[in-house]
Homo-oligomer: A and B are copies of this chain.
Amino acid sequence: MFERIDEKRWAAYIEANQPRFLDELYELLRVPSVAAQKRGITEAAALVKRRLIQLGAEVRVFSMNGGSPIICATIGNGDRRLLVYDHYDVQPEDPLDLWVSEPFEPTIRDGKLYARGVADNKGNLMLRLQTVEAWLATQGDLPISLVFLIEGEEEVSSHSLPTFCRTHADLIKADGCLWETGYINIDEYPVITCGAKGIQNVELVAHGARIDQHSSIATIVPNPAWRLTWALASLKGPDERILIPGHYDAVRPPSAADMAALERIPANDDILLADLGISSFLLDVSGWERLRRHLFEPTCTICGLTSGYSGEGFKTVLPNTARAKLDFRLVPDMRPSTVLQNLRQHLSDEGFGDIEVIDLGGEYPSRSDIESPIAQAMVAAAEATYHRPAVLYPTMAGSGPMYVVGEERGIPIASGAGCGYYGMQIHAPNEHIRLKDYWLAMDWMARFIAAFGA
> CA separation between A435 and B292, bound complex, in Å?
68
Whether A301 pairs with B315 at a CB distance below 8 angstroms is no
Q: Which of B36, B228, B236, B299 contacts A313 (CB 8 A)?
A: B36
Q: What residues of B have a CB within 8 angstroms of the CB of A303 in the complex?
A: 215, 225, 308-309, 314-319
> CA separation between A318 and B300, bound complex, in Å?
11
Task: Tell yes or no: A282 within 8 A of B by CB.
Answer: yes
Whether B305 pairs with A219 at a CB distance below 8 angstroms is no
Task: Tell yes or no: A115 within 8 A of B by CB.
Answer: no
Stretch at the interface among A50-58, A76-84, A90-98, A365-373: A90-98
Identical chains bound together, number: 2
Stretch at the interface among A62-70, A160-168, A204-212: A204-212
> CA separation between A397 and B216, bound complex, in Å?
5
- By Cβ-Cβ distance, the 7 closest A-B pairs, closest first, are A36-B313, A210-B277, A225-B302, A233-B233, A216-B397, A304-B308, A218-B301
Task: Please give the distance in Å from A396's CB to the nearest CB on chain B.
Answer: 7
Q: What residues of B have a CB within 8 angstroms of the CB of A36 in the complex?
A: 311-315
Whether B311 pairs with A92 at a CB distance below 8 angstroms is yes
Task: Tell yes or no: A112 within 8 A of B by CB.
Answer: no
Q: Which of B92, B316, B319 contacts A201 (CB 8 A)?
A: B316
Task: Add 12 more A-B contacts to A220-B285, A238-B351 (CB < 8 A).
Answer: A35-B313, A36-B313, A92-B315, A197-B216, A201-B314, A214-B427, A219-B282, A219-B299, A223-B302, A225-B302, A303-B317, A304-B315
Interface residues on A, range: 35 or more
Interface residues in A352-405 (C-beta closer than 8 Å to B):
360-361, 396-399
**Which of A212, A220, A228: most chain B Cβ within 10 A?**
A220
Task: Tell yes or no: A322 within 8 A of B by CB.
Answer: yes
Whether A314 pairs with B325 at a CB distance below 8 angstroms is yes
Whether B351 pairs with A294 at a CB distance below 8 angstroms is no
Q: What residues of B have a CB within 8 angstroms of the CB of A302 in the complex?
A: 223, 225-226, 229, 307-308, 319, 322
A278 with B428, Cβ < 8 A, contacts A293-B220, A302-B223, A327-B215 known: no
Task: Tell yes or no: A281 within 8 A of B by CB.
Answer: yes
Task: Tell yes or no: A140 within 8 A of B by CB.
Answer: no
> CA separation between A315 and B116, bound complex, in Å?
13
Q: What residues of B have a CB within 8 angstroms of the CB of A396 in the complex?
A: 216
Task: Tell yes or no: A276 within 8 A of B by CB.
Answer: yes
Whether A220 pairs with B314 at a CB distance below 8 angstroms is no
Interface residues in A301-342 (C-beta closer than 8 Å to B):
301-319, 322-323, 325, 327, 329
Q: Which of B223, B276, B305 contacts A221 (CB 8 A)?
A: B276
**Which of A216, A232, A307: most chain B Cβ within 10 A?**
A216
Whether B429 pairs with A212 at a CB distance below 8 angstroms is yes
> CA separation between A230 and B237, bound complex, in Å?
7
Whether A217 pairs with B397 at a CB distance below 8 angstroms is yes
Task: Please give the distance in Å from A172's CB to the nearest CB on chain B.
Answer: 25
Nearest to A397 among chain B residues (CB) is B216
Task: Tell yes or no: A107 within 8 A of B by CB.
Answer: no
Task: Tell yes or no: A425 within 8 A of B by CB.
Answer: yes
Q: What residues of B have a CB within 8 angstroms of the CB of A94 in the complex?
A: 309, 311
A-B contact pairs, 22 of them (CB 8 A): A36-B311, A98-B211, A98-B212, A155-B316, A201-B314, A210-B276, A211-B430, A213-B428, A214-B428, A219-B282, A220-B293, A221-B276, A221-B278, A225-B305, A228-B305, A301-B316, A303-B316, A304-B310, A305-B310, A313-B360, A315-B427, A316-B427
